[in-house]
Amino acid sequence: MPTKPFFLGADWNPEQWPEQVRAEDLALMREARVTAATVGVFSWSRLEPSPGVYEFGWLDRVLDGLHDNGIGAVLATPTASPPPWFTLAHPDALAMRRDGVRLVHGSRDTYCVNAPAYRAASLRIVSALAERYARHPAVRLWHVHNEYGTWCFCDHCGRAFRSWLRERHGTLDALNDAWTADFWSQRHTDWAQVLPPRATQYLGNPTQELDYRRFLSDSMLSAYTEQRDAIKAVAPDGQVTTNFVLGGWVPVDHARWSREVDLVAIDHYPSTLDGTPAESAFAADTARGWSAAAGHGGPWLLMEHAPAHVTEHGVQRRKPPGMLARIALGHIARGSQGAMYFQWRASAGGAEQWHSAIVPHTGPTARTYHELRALGETLAASEGRAPSCRSAYKKAPFPTGEAGLPAAGAAGAGGGEVAVWFDEVCGWAVGASHLPAPVDYQGIVEGWHRALWRRGYPVDVVPPTATLAGYRVLVVPAAYLLTDESARRLDEYTREGGHLVVTYLSGIVDEHLRVRVGGYPGALRDMLGIRVEEFDPLPPGAVVTLDTGDLVTGWTEHLTAPGAAVLARYPDGRPAVTRREHGAGRAYYVSCDLDEAATARLLDGICAAAGAAPILPGLPDGVEAVRTQDGVWLFNHTDEPHEIAGRLIARGDVTRLPLA
Ligand code: GLA
Ligand code: ZN
């Protein structure tokens, strides 16, 4: 089995600090058994202070310094932030907003990915960087760009959009048809009339908007592969990736991109402090699913997360002591090849001077640094982790995947018997503002994942391209946009013995957002044995009680169930939850938004019938179990000690039960 390098470290921005601070940082990293630092992310203006003039000396010293201390480099390309000289020389390469306002430099990510000048300048700096460092012994991983996801609506994008559309739809007639252009007189009679979805009077065309996101994703992907190929041209054995930023606003189809990276890498910034364990599990299970579906087998890397805070509704909530290690180890148990942070040393100035860091403004006496150092020790010293002692660093700077980590596979680390379907492109479609009610696609998917997570089921989050056979239960929440191919695969999965759980608002439209008419959900109606005639979303605050006593908010439907057994009914006797035997499997339909307790009860019944069991039944709320190839890892997220399987776990602690 090929070994993977192990990554413990952070983004490091030594160019913001004088030489003696850099030296102190290296000593602190070594002391904490840091194995990698991400450098160069936003260094373009330092590397190329004027067009074609390169200053690599400082980066030479940074990479040499890392190497001398047995620390690897994740070497970034700096293209997420072109220098001011570039934007003044190429005003057409600045991003344009939807409303036509041209942005100016002053922040980051202010460029048009389709501007020829930007692409040429990017390729130049990346090629120079790659040539210089292709053989530098510190470089473990190439980190292209940073968090692709920038929007632009300029004329360069308009031109590129039209050729992308020609490629996708073939003819103007096909485009008009796909976009339902007969609605509101939007028929195009010449390609020149086709525009990006810029600011317009009222609701825009939802298919134009969806195609634009797909187009931006492909545009950025081609910018990424262009850089990757330039790196591989001089460093053919180099491992190349980019850090994915998660969130429905990002026009990047990460499942598709995962095929183009050597290691799936994500950044993760949860939205609430209390929700962090569940949100982290969801992110990790998602990254593992992308990795597995793309043919990488499941391993992935947590490239960034915050050391000491979670920003909750704009307020930086402090992570309590112990959380740093618990969350990092949770990611590792779920297949991450390490834990990387943003950032190593807190910036004294600049837009992110208040972002938490491993070495905060106080300096290395701060607890965050000590917590990281303890984590480094834990990782290095745990049983079965071969290069554990510090002296081994010079010879083998990275503990290997085999020795240091649970080997990850879709079912090897973290995941297993139950899968939750997560399709970012569908999320873009559901996020449109013309639906019968506001629908939070990712929130719904995370809700199903959370219910399974809380009950301790081993879960994978899978994109539509994943191999489905092998999962006992597959939950498909709010899969509003479902292609014919996906519908066929879900049917096949069920006929061959899978237990499929489909929720409301699934299988409604095709890939062009055209409703599959004749009764919802057009794509799955026959398999489910039901027919939805009307949606009946509830106003905020309204609660409906089913005949099972389960509570429903948010969404309800009027349906008939000519071919399915009714498991729960609305107060007037109409079906709410149904089940149909289909081939060797079963297909359930949940027409409403059940609360978490009801969701858990339903899932318990479905999983039991399918033969899927929790990793350890009856765990107290807040204690998480993750099955890995080297045992079951237990995470106590609560403030009390718990005794599990005869072992006492202190509050906030992590322990590992050996495999029976
Ligand atoms: C992102 C970026 C980092 C930094 C962090 C913290 O993940 O990649 O450069 O901005 O967020 O905000
Ligand atoms: Zn543009």
Torsion sign (Cα): 541, 481, 152, 117: positive
Which neighbouring-strand residues pair with 560? 531
C-alpha closest to that of 47 among 55, 59, 39: 55
Q: Which ligand ends up closest to the CA of 310?
A: 1
Ligand whose nearest atom lies closest to the CA of 92: 2
Decide whether any atom of ligand 1 lies within 6 Å of the 516 Cβ: no
What was the pLDDT predicted at 321?
95
Residues 22-72: tens digit of each pLDDT: 999 999 999 999 999 999 999 999 999 999 999 999 999 999 999 999 999
From atom 3 of ligand 1, which residue's Cα is the shortest distance away? Answer: 342
Q: Give the β-pairing of 473-476 and 418-421.
A: parallel
| Whether the CB of 109 sits within 6 Å of ligand 1 | no
Q: Where are the domains of the chain?
A: 7-151+217-404, 418-610, 630-657
What residue's CA is closest to ligand 1, atom 5? 342
For residue 642, the cross-strand partners are: 649
Q: How many CB atoms lie within 10 A of CB 386?
A: 13
For residues 292 and 299, is the Cβ–Cβ distance under 8 A?
A: no
660 — pLDDT class (breaks 50, 70, 90):
low
- Nearest C-alpha neighbor of 127 from the set 51, 232, 261, 42: 232
- Is the CA virtual torsion 523, 529, 533, 535 positive or negative? negative
Report which protein residue has its CA nearest ligand 1's atom 6. Answer: 342
pTM: 0.95
Q: For 512, phi and psi rounded to 5 degrees?
A: -100, 15
Q: How far is the CA of 227 from the centre of ligand 2 (A)?
A: 19
**For the chain, what percent of residues have pLDDT higher than 70?**
94
- CA-closest candidate to residue 449, choices 441, 524, 405, 296: 441
Known catalytic residue at 304: yes
Q: What is the mean pLDDT of residues 557-577?
A: 98
Q: What is the mean pLDDT of residues 597-613?
A: 97
Query: What's the CA gap between 39 and 368, in Å, rounded?
Result: 21
Pairing of strands 243-245, 264-267: parallel
In this model, does residue 396 exceed pLDDT 60?
no
477-480-484-487 Cα dihedral, nearest 10 degrees: 20
pLDDT, one tens digit per residue, over 148-199 is: 999 999 999 999 999 999 999 999 999 999 999 999 999 999 999 999 999 9
pLDDT digits (tens, 9 = 90+) for 357-387: 999 999 999 999 999 999 999 998 774 332 2
Task: Report pLDDT digits (tens) over 92-125.
Answer: 999 999 999 999 999 999 999 999 999 999 999 9
Which of 147, 243, 303 has most ligand 1 atoms within 8 Å of CB, for mutation? 147
Task: Report how far ligand 2's centroid is from the alpha carbon of 143 (Å).
Answer: 23
* Span 126-155, pLDDT tens digits: 999 999 999 999 999 999 999 999 999 999
Torsional sign, CA 432, 433, 435, 439: positive
Q: Name the CATH topology of 7-151+217-404.
A: TIM Barrel (3.20.20)
CATH class held by domain 418-610? alpha beta
Pairing of strands 243-245, 240-241: unpaired
How much is the mean pLDDT over the chain?
93
Ligand 1 in reach of 42 Cβ (< 6 A): no
Q: Is 511 in the pocket of ligand 1 (CB under 6 A)?
A: no
> Cβ of 599: how many Cβ atoms within 10 Å?
23
Sign of CA dihedral 558, 559, 560, 566: negative
Q: What residue's CA is closest to ligand 1, atom 10?
A: 352
CA 434 to mean position of chain CA atoms: 26
Q: Is 143 in the pocket of ligand 1 (CB under 6 A)?
A: no
Better pLDDT: 407 or 73: 73
Question: Which atom of ligand 1 is least distant from the CA of 306?
Answer: 6
Q: Which band of pLDDT confidence, cut at 50, 70 and 90, is reported for residue 414? A: low
Contact partners, residue 95, CB within 8 Å, separation at least 6:
102, 103, 109, 110, 111, 112, 150, 151, 152, 154
**pLDDT for res 600:** 96
Q: How high is the pLDDT of residue 5?
A: 63
Ligand nearest to the CA of 159: 2
Q: Give the number of the atom of ligand 1 that is nearest the alpha carbon of residue 245.
A: 7
Cβ contacts of residue 106 below 8 Å, gap of 6+?
none
Residues 182, 610: Cα–Cα separation, whole Å: 47
391 pLDDT tier (thresholds 50, 70, 90) = very low
pLDDT computed for residue 413 by the predictor: 59
**pLDDT (mean) for 353-360:** 98
Instruction: Please give the radius of gyration of the chain, using alpha carbons only, rounded to the nearest integer.
Output: 26
Residue 342 CA to ligand 1 center (angstroms) comes to 7
| Residue from 304, 305, 340, 358 whose mutation best tests the ligand 1 pocket (most atoms within 8 A of CB) | 304
Mutate which of 43, 242, 267 for ligand 1? The one with the most ligand atoms within 8 Å of its CB, which is 267
- One of 48, 209, 279, 304 is an active-site residue; which one? 304
Q: Which long-range contacts (CB under 8 A, 24 or more apart) does 518-523 make?
A: 520/557, 521/482, 523/482, 523/484, 523/486, 523/487
CB 300 within 8 A of CB 290: yes
Please provide the distance, in angstroms rounded to a whole number, between the alpha carbons at the two ends of the chain.
24
Q: Which residues of 518-539 are buried (b: 16+ CB within 10 A; e: fewer)?
A: eebbbbbbebbbbbbeebbbbe
